[in-house]
């Protein structure tokens, strides 16, 4: 059995972080995001290959994952000639498939029971099964309405107050039968959500919902990217390095924490990082590989990617810094700051 991961997006909502780093390899702590999706696929032993549908900087992704060595899952890469949308990408990547296929949107982190989703799909002899997740604020999303038997009735894009009849949204995980791909025009930009799924409803195909109450998040914005780190540190989502750790402070073996430095959990310090005397790493902070935090600096609720430099007495709060960023002495970065790779903040600046 195969899976298709829709990993071709440019990650525009996460820019400038994704200018040089495709969204599938944006780090969650010290592992590329795509690892988490691949680990979920490994729940289902019959899935032996994941097809990565790529378009934006595909070589960067392939360099990291290769053919899946050590992952327990073979990887194959399909590069769209032009952006084809979610539906067009599925048709392009899955055109030769002849068995049920699991499809993942490229920015979804979830702990759904994939085995249970597949069992429902087969029990109902469905042509398509979509995973739905309930949300607290249905006004903020496009909703998916079902009947009492779990059949998909309609998709409600940005519903008005009087149109809200449910609180379930598309979780970006599907099981599809490949014969349905014929409804997607070849080599054409096509939306799986806005065009393909409505066509299944119109044709009366067996299209069912699996509602998952498990963890789910779309990591595609800076706020959600920060949130997923908090959720892992709080163990709301079970994943390394906190899943099996008895402590709230995770420090890699080769990191150097000088006497007089303060680490307040939950926080994470990666390999080769240096935290100088008098520096303070406060809760929900991630200090990337080979990053230096100088004397008197404070990092609070922030994510610093590898090879950063936080100068003396600098304060970084609620920010995300890309690779090789330099924050000068006594500079202040406040909530919402997002810096692309190699950004330099000069001494005494405020951002």
- CATH of residue 328's domain is 2.160.10.10
233 belongs to a structural domain: no
Are the C-beta atoms of residues 279 and 293 closer than 8 Å to each other?
Answer: yes
Same domain for 186 and 275: no
Chain centre to alpha carbon of residue 301: 19
Residue 242 forms part of a structural domain: no
- Phi, then psi, of 230 in degrees rounded to 5: -60, -40
Residue 158, Ramachandran bin (φ over 0: left; ψ between -120 and 50: alpha; else beta): left
Residue 238 lies in a domain: no
Mean pLDDT (whole number) for 176-204? 89
If asked whether residues 19 and 118 sit together in one domain, one would say yes
- How many angstroms separate the CA atoms of 47 and 40, rounded? 11
The answer to whether residues 141 and 282 belong to one domain is no
User: Residue 1 CB: number of other CB atoms within 10 A?
Assistant: 16
> Is residue 340, in this structure, part of any structural domain at all?
yes
Q: What is the pLDDT of residue 226?
A: 96
> Where are any strands of DSSP class E within 229-349?
249-251, 256-257, 262-263, 267-269, 274-275, 280-281, 285-287, 292-293, 298-300, 303-304, 309-310, 315-317, 320-321, 326-327, 332-333, 338-339, 344-345
Tens of pLDDT, residue by residue over 251-310, are 999 999 999 999 998 999 999 999 999 999 999 999 999 999 999 999 999 999 999 999
Range of the domain at 266: 248-345
Residues 199 and 106 in one domain: yes
Maximum C-alpha span of the chain: 68
Least confident of 150-154, 197-201, 209-213, 239-243: 239-243
Q: What percent of the chain has pLDDT over 70?
A: 98
Q: Is residue 234 part of a domain?
A: no
pLDDT recorded at residue 227: 95
pLDDT, average across residues 180-208:
89
Q: In terms of domains, do 87 and 207 share one? A: yes
Question: Which has the minimum average pLDDT: 128-142, 150-164, 277-291?
Answer: 150-164
Q: Is residue 183 part of a domain?
A: yes
Are the beta carbons of 105 and 130 closer than 8 angstroms? no
Q: Please tell me whether residues 173 and 214 are part of one structural domain.
A: yes
Residues 210 and 304 in one domain: no
CB atoms within 10 A of CB 228: 21
Q: Among 270, 346, 282, which Cα is nearest to 307's?
A: 270
The residue out of 188, 222, 256 marking a domain boundary is: 222
Same domain, 84 and 149: yes
Residue 293 inside a domain? The answer is yes
Q: Is the pLDDT of residue 139 over 80?
A: no
Do 198 and 297 sit in the same domain of this protein? no
As a whole number, the mean pLDDT across the chain is 91
Given a contact cutoff of 8 angstroms between Cβ atoms, the answer to whether 336 and 319 are in contact is yes
Q: Read off the pLDDT of each residue in 8-29 and give the average, rounded to a whole number.
A: 87
Query: What confidence score (pLDDT) does residue 349 get?
Result: 95
Contact 27, 53 (CB under 8 A): no
Instruction: Report yes or no: 67 and 79 within 8 Å, Cβ to Cβ.
Output: no
**Local confidence band at 81 (pLDDT 50, 70, 90 cut-offs):** confident
Q: Which of 205, 222, 239 is the last residue of a domain?
A: 222
| C-alpha torsion angle, residues 138, 139, 143, 147 (rounded to 10) | 60
Number of structural domains in the chain: 2
Query: For position 126, what pLDDT does the model report?
Result: 95
Q: Are 36 and 28 in contact (CB under 8 A)?
A: yes
Domain-located, residue 217: yes
87 and 194 share a domain? yes
Using pLDDT thresholds of 50, 70 and 90, give the confidence band for residue 2.
very high
Residue-wise burial string across 305-343, b where 16 or more C-beta atoms lie within 10 A, e elsewhere: bbbbbbbbbbbbbbbbbbbbbbbbbbbbbeeebbbbbeb
Work out the burial of residue 10: count CB atoms within 10 Å of its CB; fewer than 13 is exposed, 13-18 middle, 19 or more buried. middle
Rounded Cα gap, residues 165 and 323, in angstroms: 44
Residue with the two structure tokens 């959500």: 193
Domain CATH for 35: 3.90.550.10
The verdict on 166 and 256 lying in the same domain is: no
Say if residues 214 and 109 touch (Cβ distance below 8 Å). Answer: no
User: Is there a single domain that holds both residue 85 and residue 194?
Assistant: yes
């Amino acid at each position: 059995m195969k899976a298709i991961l829709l990993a071709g997006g440019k990650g525009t909502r996460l820019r400038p972080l994704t200018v040089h780093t495709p969204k599938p390899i944006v780090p969650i702590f010290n592992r590329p995001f795509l690892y988490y999706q691949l680990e979920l696929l490994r729940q289902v032993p019959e899935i032996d290959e994941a097809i990565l549908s790529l378009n934006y900087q595909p070589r960067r992704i392939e360099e990291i994952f290769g053919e899946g060595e050590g992952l327990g899952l073979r990887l194959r890469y399909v590069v769209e000639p032009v952006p084809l949308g979610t539906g067009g990408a599925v048709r392009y990547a899955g055109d030769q498939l002849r068995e049920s296929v699991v499809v993942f949107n490229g920015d979804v982190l979830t702990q759904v029971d994939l085995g249970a989703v597949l069992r429902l799909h087969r029990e109902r002899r469905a042509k398509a099964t979509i995973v739905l997740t309930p949300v607290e604020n249905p006004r903020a999303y496009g909703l998916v309405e079902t009947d009492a038997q779990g059949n998909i009735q309609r998709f409600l894009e940005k519903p008005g107050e009087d149109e809200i009849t449910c609180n379930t949204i598309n979780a970006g995980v599907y099981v599809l039968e490949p014969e349905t791909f014929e409804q997607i025009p070849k080599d054409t930009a096509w939306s799986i959500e806005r065009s393909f799924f409505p066509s299944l409803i119109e044709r009366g195909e067996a299209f069912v919902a699996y509602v998952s109450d498990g963890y789910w998040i779309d990591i595609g914005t800076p706020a959600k990217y920060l949130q997923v780190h908090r959720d892992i540190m709080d163990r709301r989502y079970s994943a390394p390095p906190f899943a099996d750790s008895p402590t709230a402070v995770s420090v890699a073996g080769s990191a150097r924490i000088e006497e007089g430095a303060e680490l307040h959990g939950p926080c994470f310090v990666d390999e080769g990082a240096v935290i100088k005397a008098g520096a303070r790493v406060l809760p929900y902070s991630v200090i990337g590989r080979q990053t230096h935090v100088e004397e008197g600096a404070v990092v609070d609720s922030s994510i610093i990617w590898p090879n950063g430099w936080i100068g003396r007495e600098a304060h970084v709060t609620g920010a995300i810094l890309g690779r090789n960023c330099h924050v000068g002495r006594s500079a202040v970065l406040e909530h919402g700051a997002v810096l692309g790779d190699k950004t330099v903040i000069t001494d005494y600046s405020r951002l």
